């Protein structure tokens, strides 16, 4: 009889335990093409960059703040149930950056407020259907918090308070801003539910590559998910970055806090089908005119349209310096120098140009058979001459390609491409494309 009572008690305990199982909550969104969300991003950054000067490192304080406000329409869905392509209309896009004692501001031109962000392209592509962006406009709109990957921090299933889940690698790479991910342990957790609002956190570390530099980050995130509307409505993303020096960026230590507010809205006229008529169809090749970047010389001596692989690393009154990056590798450097103008219809001779380039400080020509070079006149009436030489620049063995570009009014610009002798194949014809993108603004006629 005692044994039966013990068995019956065990059954009752088991039933009671099953009845006390923790309540679960489904933390998942099911976005669809056509959905539109109003998004506000506020970012604050503080830290320092470290630059090399006179054989020693100098730390410069770095501060920045930015705000972005835009409706975002989903055009196509992709993997993991995340948006792959969206259209945005920036109502606000503004940043203030302070490096040491220098302060700069960035904003979007009114005619560049409509942009498309596409995770289906490799690498991630942000472009304007109305025409080319400047490098500053591209950084302002492509380097803020990645809203396309936002929903990837949700578990996508029912979880109980206290449950944890692993954040997918593709989501971590996008949200942490890596070109390539090497390691990560970011973990999400449901911490509490109150009044139909689920509070989640994401914590952990990650490391990866960005513009050829190793970056290690520590992440602390808190967010709110509305169980009634089934939408992630707010987020605070805190990230600490330790960045090594790279071929196109300085070493730095920064802490960034980004806050996000998000709500489902009706489709605004700025993102209607009519407004998006110029957006390429899904899977179509994006025209070069939408992808290339534009640069205007501050003194109006030349303009440049160039591929995004070229990163601006130096700018003075005398020259513009760019470096060509290919999947994190440095391929070549381009130095663009405005040259004294000749008389209209004239230009420096090829022999005089070769002589001047041979006298460049630090340059030692070691070519066995000097290249005679070649000259051509393009459809714009520009005279373009170039020759190639191998030698040493400040003792480093390199190959250099020297270009002289002269306009019909006597405008002259020198472009020097410097690269490791083994990188010529990787450079391909990208030097030719860069030089072809250089043009002279039309002279304004007197009123």
Domain membership flag for residue 446: no
**321: which DSSP letter?**
E
Q: What is the pLDDT of residues 24-81, one digit of tens each?
A: 999 999 999 999 999 999 999 999 999 877 778 889 999 999 999 999 999 999 988 9
* Same domain, residue pair 150 and 240: yes
Give Cα separations from 365 to 77, 136, 372, 394, 400 (angstroms). 55, 37, 14, 11, 10
* Same domain, residue pair 159 and 212: yes
Domain membership flag for residue 92: yes
* Same domain, residue pair 102 and 165: yes
| Kind and range of the H or E run holding 411 | none
Q: Domain total for the chain? A: 2
Q: What was the pLDDT predicted at 328?
A: 80
Q: What was the pLDDT predicted at 248?
A: 84
- Count of CB atoms situated within 10 Å of the CB of 345: 12
CATH number at residue 411: 3.40.1000.10
Domain membership flag for residue 282: no
Of 271, 305, 328, the one marking the end of a domain is: 271
Q: What was the pLDDT predicted at 427?
A: 96
* Same domain, residue pair 384 and 433: yes
Q: What is the pLDDT of residues 150-204, one digit of tens each?
A: 999 999 999 999 999 999 999 999 999 999 999 999 999 999 999 999 999 999 9
Can you tell me the distance from the alpha carbon of 93 to that of 111, in angstroms, rounded to the nearest whole number?
13
At residue 3, the 3 state secondary structure works out as helix
* Same domain, residue pair 109 and 244: yes
- Domain hosting 404: range is 292-439
Q: What is the pLDDT of residues 222-242, one digit of tens each?
A: 999 999 999 999 999 999 999
- Asked whether the predicted pLDDT for residue 15 surpasses 60, the reply is no
Q: What is the pLDDT of residues 252-305, one digit of tens each?
A: 999 999 999 999 999 999 999 999 999 999 989 999 999 999 999 999 999 999
Query: What is the percent of the chain where pLDDT is above 70?
Result: 94
* Same domain, residue pair 225 and 336: no
Domain membership flag for residue 130: yes
Quote the mean pLDDT of the chain: 92
* Same domain, residue pair 305 and 380: yes
CATH number at residue 100: 2.30.230
Q: What is the pLDDT of residues 69-115, one digit of tens each?
A: 999 999 999 988 999 999 999 999 999 999 988 999 999 999 999 99
Q: What is the pLDDT of residues 323-357, one digit of tens each?
A: 999 888 899 999 999 999 999 999 999 999 999 99
* Same domain, residue pair 191 and 263: yes
Q: Which pLDDT band, with edges at 50, 70 and 90, does 21 fall under? A: low
Domain membership flag for residue 6: no
Domain membership flag for residue 434: yes
Give Cα separations from 374 to 54, 186, 338, 368, 386 (angstroms). 40, 56, 21, 18, 6
- Count of CB atoms situated within 10 Å of the CB of 100: 13
Going by C-alpha positions, the residue among 280, 357, 277, 323 that lies closest to residue 431 is 323
* Same domain, residue pair 31 and 60: yes
Query: What is the percent of the chain where pLDDT is above 90?
Result: 85
Q: What was the pLDDT predicted at 211?
A: 87
Q: What was the pLDDT predicted at 153?
A: 98
Domain membership flag for residue 337: yes
- Per this entry, what is the length of the chain? 447
Of 238, 271, 304, the one marking the end of a domain is: 271
Q: What was the pLDDT predicted at 52?
A: 76
Q: What was the pLDDT predicted at 444?
A: 52
* Same domain, residue pair 67 and 185: yes
Indicate the pTM of the whole model: 0.88
Of 271, 301, 323, the one marking the end of a domain is: 271
* Same domain, residue pair 341 and 210: no
* Same domain, residue pair 325 and 228: no
Q: What was the pLDDT predicted at 283?
A: 87
Domain membership flag for residue 67: yes
């Amino acid at each position: 009889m005692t044994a039966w009572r013990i068995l019956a008690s065990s059954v009752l305990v088991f039933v009671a335990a099953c009845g006390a199982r923790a309540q679960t909550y489904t933390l998942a969104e099911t976005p669809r093409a056509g959905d539109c969300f109003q998004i506000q991003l506020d970012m604050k950054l503080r830290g320092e960059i470290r630059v090399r000067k006179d054989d020693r490192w100098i730390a410069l304080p770095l501060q920045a703040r930015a705000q972005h406000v835009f409706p975002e329409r989903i055009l196509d869905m992709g993997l993991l149930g995340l948006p792959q392509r969206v259209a945005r209309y920036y109502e606000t896009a503004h940043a203030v950056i302070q490096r040491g004692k220098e302060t700069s501001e960035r904003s979007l031109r009114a005619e560049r407020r409509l942009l498309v962000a596409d995770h289906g392209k490799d690498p991630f592509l942000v472009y304007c259907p109305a025409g080319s962006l400047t490098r500053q406009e591209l950084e302002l709109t492509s380097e803020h918090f990645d809203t396309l990957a936002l929903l990837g921090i949700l578990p996508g299933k029912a979880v109980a308070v206290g449950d944890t889940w692993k954040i997918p690698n593709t989501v971590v790479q996008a949200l942490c801003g890596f070109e390539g991910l090497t390691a990560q342990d970011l973990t999400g957790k449901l911490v509490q539910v109150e009044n139909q609002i689920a509070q989640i956190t994401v914590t952990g570390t990650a490391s990866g590559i960005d513009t050829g530099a190793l970056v290690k980050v520590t992440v602390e995130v808190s967010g709110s998910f509305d169980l009634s509307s089934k939408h992630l409505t707010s987020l605070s993303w805190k990230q600490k970055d330790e960045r090594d020096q790279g071929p196109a960026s300085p070493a730095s230590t920064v802490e960034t806090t980004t806050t996000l507010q998000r709500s489902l809205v009706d489709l605004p006229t700025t993102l209607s089908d009519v407004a998006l008529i110029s957006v390429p169809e899904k899977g179509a090749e994006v025209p070069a005119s939408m992808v290339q970047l534009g640069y205007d010389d501050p003194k109006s001596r030349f303009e440049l349209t160039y591929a995004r692989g070229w990163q601006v690393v130096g700018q003075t009154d005398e020259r513009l310096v760019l470096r060509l990056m290919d999947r994190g590798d440095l391929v070549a450097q381009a130095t663009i120098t405005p040259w004294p103008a000749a008389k209209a219809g004239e230009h420096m001779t090829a022999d005089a140009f070769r002589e001047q380039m041979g006298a460049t400080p630090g340059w030692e020509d070691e070519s066995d058979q000097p290249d005679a070079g070649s000259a051509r006149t393009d459809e714009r009436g520009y005279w373009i001459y170039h020759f190639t030489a191998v030698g040493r620049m400040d003792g480093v063995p390199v190959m250099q390609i020297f270009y002289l570009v002269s306009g019909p009014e006597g405008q002259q610009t020198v472009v020097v491409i410097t690269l490791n002798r083994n990188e010529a194949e990787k450079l391909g014809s990208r030097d030719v494309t860069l030089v072809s993108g250089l043009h002279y603004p039309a002279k304004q006629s007197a009123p």
